[in-house]
Structure 1
């Protein structure tokens, strides 16, 4: 393990809570020339149609304060080429907003950026967040966390030097994520993209086990009409055409867990 990683782990272990650990992380990143960072987590990264889902948790340091709102509520996550790459990538990658039409071997964005991504590219250029390294981390149950080390106004030669630290940054991303896990707000763990009531989830859980509406009604001591109402509401919220597709979509969004 490099001396830099040893120092990082000492800093992370010496503090508690997500905020202090983010502060410790940015202090260590400065030693490698990075000036800002972003960290996000989503339990389900894409819809069944393949569209990106806004993160349940997004934390930043030394980045424009408007960014979290734009990404979680303003639709920028859905047109973020870095996040699009992170969902598919198996290794950390370097990106630059300065040369999106260059060599994909030098800049990962060159392989994916189209006209629809331009608002995000222009935002990064306007805020001078032009170069970064993204570490995608696929988690249990299909979740995705991404760690982004960013350089604002990089000096010439920065990208060449940063490439030497790709392995260290990958290990740093996982070290930070493992340290941050115990600081998660429980509300960040389930998917927020679709919200079902506890009764709607329960009815779908039984439906997934092959039970009919009448059987579910008997199990819950409710009328079949009430159960049908819950199933119809859940089907509508999930954007499903029928009960079978509703169960499949509920499974996709990790909504069928827990004992019945």
Structure 2
């Protein structure tokens, strides 16, 4: 396993054994990245009208009521973005102004929630995971620095949602049968685990980049994964690769 794919904080959150461990690792990651606040929420749809929520955060006690208010969520542009899609959102005051709800930003800004980054993962069987980091300082203006932060958050979220499902959802609800992956699909996952791109995987295996991508996509589908990193983690957990 290379440091590029699973450095310390990613491994630590995935190995969390209790909710307290999970909370500690999530907060540590956010603060090491320069964000005072963090929220990791697992949502399990039980029916069209009922969902179970499991939230880990370090929201100030004085702002708890507003932070957990479902009525506010329905108007909050960041929450609505995460509900609809998976692309990370980088938000600040302008986000709320554009959506005509600047008063929501002003209320949370008083508690240090002035800007942040949030994303969501929508998984099979009505499972969802949202992850957001927030602070009172502006985000970096340098594109390279901002891209690096977003990439770190995306990778951490993949590992965090694996741990969250294991900790907060009944084991039989997340249990997976060992799917049958072809040798090529397994090889593609192994090299992806080593940090190789699809082009590099194709070169190593003597196939085209397009074929390498196809093998990865097939593996993702069989493992019910939303991206190649999650597919690698599930394959590891199931003992399909080592």
Please, what TM-score do these two structures have when normalized by structure 1?
A: 0.54
Match of 1:217 in 2: none
> Mind listing any 5+ residue stretches in structure 2 that lack a counterpart?
174-242
Corresponding residue SS for 1:91:
coil
Whether 1:70 and 2:53 are equivalent positions in the alignment is no
Q: Distance in 2 between matches of 1:68 and 1:158?
A: 30
**Does the CA contact (< 8 Å) of 2:38 and 2:57 recur in 1?**
yes
Q: RMSD in angstroms over aligned alpha carbons?
A: 3.2
Q: Normalized against structure 2, the TM-score is what?
A: 0.58
Change (3 A) 1:126 1:175: same
Q: Deviating runs (4+, > 6 A) in structure 1? A: 45-48
Whole-angstrom CA distance in 1 between matches of 2:87 and 2:157: 11
Tell me: CA distance 1:122–1:167, structure 2 relative to 1, closer, same or farther (3 Å). same
Larger Rg: 1
The CA deviation at 1:84 is 0.4
- Residue 168 of structure 1 is matched in structure 2 by 152
Any conservation in 2 of the 1:12–1:176 contact (CA below 8 Å)? yes
- Out of 57, 62, 84, which is 1:60 matched to? 57
Instruction: Report the number of matched residues.
Output: 169
Rounded to whole Å, the distance in 1 between the matches of 2:55 and 2:46 is 13
Structure 2 residue aligned with 1:93, among 89, 93, 97? 89
Q: 2:136 aligns with which of 153, 159, 163?
A: 153
Contact 2:14–2:162 (CA<8 Å) still a contact in 1? no
How big is the shift at 1:156?
7.0
Aligned to 1:141: 125
Structure-2 residue corresponding to 1:21? 22
SS in structure 1 at match of 2:81 = helix
Is 1:178 matched up with 2:162?
A: yes
Change in CA separation of 1:94 and 1:54 when aligned onto 2, cut-off 3 Å: farther
CA 1:47–1:67: 2 relative to 1, 3 Å: farther
Question: What's 2:9 paired with?
Answer: 8
Distance in 1, Cα, partners of 2:46 & 2:60? 23
Deviations 1:115-154 (A, max 9, x none): xx3443122211121121112110222332210022x221
CA distance in 2, matches of 1:153, 1:126: 9
Q: CA offset at residue 34 of structure 1?
A: 1.9
Shift of residue 180, structure 1, vs aligned partner: 1.5
Relative distance call for 1:14 and 1:42 in structure 2 (3 A) is closer
Q: What is the match of residue 233 of structure 1?
A: none
In structure 2, relative to structure 1, the CA distance for the partners of 1:38 and 1:176 (3 Å cut) is same
SS in 2 for 1:144: strand
Do the aligned residues in 1 keep the contact of 2:109 with 2:136 (CA within 8 Å)? no
Judging changes above 3 Å, is the alpha-carbon distance between structure 1 residues 46 and 123 closer, same or farther for their aligned structure 2 residues? farther
- Matched-pair contact (CA < 8 Å) for 1:37–1:148: yes
